[in-house]
Each structure stands twice: as structure tokens, then as C-alpha cells.
Amino acid sequence: MTITRTLIRGVGGYLPERILTNKELESKIDTTHEWIVQRTGIEQRHVAADDEFTSDLATKAAQRALDAANMSIKDIDLIIVATTTPDLTFPATAALVQHKLGMSHGAAFDLQAVCSGFVYATTIADSYLKNSLGKRALVIGAETASRILDWNDRTTCVLFGDGAGAIVVETVDLPDDRADQGILSSRLRSNGNQWDKLYTDGGVSTTRSVGHVRMQGREVFKHAVGMISDVVDGALEDAGYTADDLDWFVPHQANRRIIDGAGKKVGIDPKKVVITVDKHANTSAASVPMALNQAVNDGRIKPGDLVMIEAMGGGFTWGASLIRWTS
């Protein structure tokens, strides 16, 4: 008997050059470096140049993931870009990435689940490939969140940053005694009744503009830890593991206090938690793949490690995937 599994073949990331520090923000709005660090753990964020778009960030991260996988774009059957900040209303940013990578075969589409977008996209790619609709996919999280921030609203503009991360995944048929590899389980959830806790105050069909991020921060905070631990526990249970089995916990990077709270509730050793929020801030759908990229490239995540990724964000949406790392 064989089991079809989706394996991780490569990971890549890209951060825009410009770094915006908390100190710089102090000169623009009524905030302090100390407040931001104490409440969120954020010290700085990267901001895309005016002529740098989400598709540019996504393309760079994707190319690095392809290089890491030792593959070319010819090998890819599907591109999913998880983003809330597309270049254009249409076509999908994924189509623009496809163009920039020189790909005219296969399929490409965007996925909108805000900060949970990359976990959603990974899960969708896993299902798509397991259903034999293709063999290899590029799953990308990319954002220019700086474009939808109200830079006069200190309750939101200090929290977000720009960037992109990507993975290359491939399905293989494994003998069932060797099937403990790749994406082992995933849980996705949403609750649209909570849409007004975190949203933009504009959109194509309502205001014919993109609007700005609005958030009831305390309300989001209140729900975050419970939602995260719910899907993490579920994904562990589905695969027959416990938190003690995890080698690495790679959470969505929104707030250091939420990460610490979720890690504690799930019961994960803090030394196994990958943190990038201090340097990247909240990059929405890009945060998890960029954190994966960092931990793989600095030698922490190695082939054979059991890795939990999770995210929660606007919608509300939330999700987690358990992965036996293979790249």
C-alpha cells in the first residue's frame, strides 16, 4: 500500500530593503519605541519601495524557493499567492507572478484569508496535488501591508510590515511505513460573524477604493490564543502526535504576547518557537513562510523535524498545519 503525501522541497523569502524603525515612527506619530516593544515585541519593519509591488516581492521569494528546491518554473503546475494587498483588483497577483517567472502553463490564483492566507494556501495546494490535478506547486504569501495602513492611526500603523515568503511542494507516493513525511494534517477555520473586529474601511464594491486597516486590537487579542490552540491541538490529534513531539513551532507573527500565550497554552517549549515579529512586524500572509525561510536558512529547521505552522487573522480566519520537514 502507498500513501500520497505533499512534501516540502524548498523555501525562500524576500524582504524589501528599507527598514522603518520604531524610533522613526516616534517622529511621525504619538508613540514610543518602548510602548511598541512592550505591547507587541516589534522593533522594526521593512517597507516596500514606491515602485515595488506585491508581485515583485512574491516573484523574488518564489525564485529563491525554486532555487532551494533545485527546480525551475517549468516544473511547477500551480501557483497560489496568499495576499490581502494584490497589485491590481484583477488579474490575480498569482497571474502576474506567473508572467514574471515566465510560466504560461498550469494554473495560478490568489487566495484571500488575510493573515491565515499562507496556511490556507498550503492546505489547498496539498488537497489539489493529492487529487492529481498537478504534481508541484509554488505556495506564496506576499504583502505590501504598508499600502493599506492609515499612517496617522497609531493603533494599527506600528504593527505591520511588508515582505514575501514561498515554498515549493511536491506530491509523492510513499510506502505506508514511510508515509510520516510532508504535510501530515491541517485544520482550517473561519467565523465571519467577527468580520468587524479586523477589516479595511473600504473595498472595490463598497467605496471603490482599498480603504485602511481598522482593528479592535483588544478584541482580536482576546480571541487569538484560544483560536490558535484549538487548531494546533486539532492538527496534532489528527496526526496522532502531541505538543511534546514538535521540534519547531512557527506561528503567525502578529504580536509576541499572542505567540507566547499560544505556545504556553499548547504546551510548547519556548526554545522551539521561531520568532521574527521583532524584525518583520506583522506581514500578514507572508509572516509564516518568511519565518520558515529564516529558520531553515539559519540551520534550525532540518529534514526530519516535526514543524507546526499556524495563523489567525481577519474574518476571523485561523488554521494550522503539521509538517514533517523534507527540504
Q: Give the catalytic positions in this structure.
A: 115, 252, 282
Contact 320, 268 (CB under 8 A): no
27 in contact with ligand UT7 (CB under 6 A)? no
- Helix %, strand %, coil % of the chain (to 5): 40, 30, 30
- Stretch of 1-9, 35-43, 165-173, 239-247 lying at the interface with ligand UT7 (CB under 6 A): 35-43
Contact 158, 215 (CB under 8 A): no
Q: Of 40 and 98, which CB lies nearer to ligand UT7 in the complex structure? A: 40
Binding flags for ligand UT7, 259-298, as an x/- string (CB under 6 A): -----------------------x----------------
Joined grid coordinates for residue 27: 517622529
Q: How far is CA 8 from CA 5, 16, 184, in A?
A: 10, 25, 11
Helix/strand/coil (H, E, C) string of 61-123? HHHHHHHHHCCCHHHCCEEEEECCCCCCCCCCHHHHHHHHHCCCCCEEEEECCHHHHHHHHHH
Binding flags for ligand UT7, 49-68, as an x/- string (CB under 6 A): --------------------
Q: Of 96 and 224, which CB lies nearer to ligand UT7 in the complex structure? A: 224
97 in contact with ligand UT7 (CB under 6 A)? no
Give the one residue of 255, 276, 317, 326 binding ligand UT7; rule: CB under 6 A: 255
117 in contact with ligand UT7 (CB under 6 A)? no
Joined grid coordinates for residue 298: 539559519
What is the rounded distance in angstroms from the CA atom of residue 240 to the CA atom of residue 114? 29
Buried residues in 16-27 as b, exposed as e (16+ CB within 10 A): beeebebeebbe
Q: How far is CA 171 from CA 34, 73, 133, 195, 230, in A?
A: 46, 16, 11, 35, 28
218 in contact with ligand UT7 (CB under 6 A)? yes
Three-state DSSP state, 31: coil
Contact 263, 27 (CB under 8 A): no
Binding flags for ligand UT7, 152-191, as an x/- string (CB under 6 A): --xx--x---------------------------------
Give the one residue of 19, 35, 106, 179 binding ligand UT7; rule: CB under 6 A: 35
Nearest distance from residue 8's CB to ligand UT7, in Å?
23
Q: Of 101 and 198, which CB lies nearer to ligand UT7 in the complex structure? A: 198
258 in contact with ligand UT7 (CB under 6 A)? yes
Nearest distance from residue 140's CB to ligand UT7, in Å?
18
What is the rounded distance in angstroms from the CA atom of residue 306 to the CA atom of residue 238? 14
309 in contact with ligand UT7 (CB under 6 A)? no
- Stretch of 59-67, 184-192, 242-250, 251-259 lying at the interface with ligand UT7 (CB under 6 A): 251-259
213 in contact with ligand UT7 (CB under 6 A)? no
Joined grid coordinates for residue 278: 521583532
Q: Of 63 and 122, which CB lies nearer to ligand UT7 in the complex structure? A: 122
Three-state DSSP state, 215: strand
Interface residues toward ligand UT7, by CB under 6 A: 31, 35-36, 39-40, 115, 154-155, 158, 198, 217-218, 220-221, 224, 254-255, 258, 282, 312-313
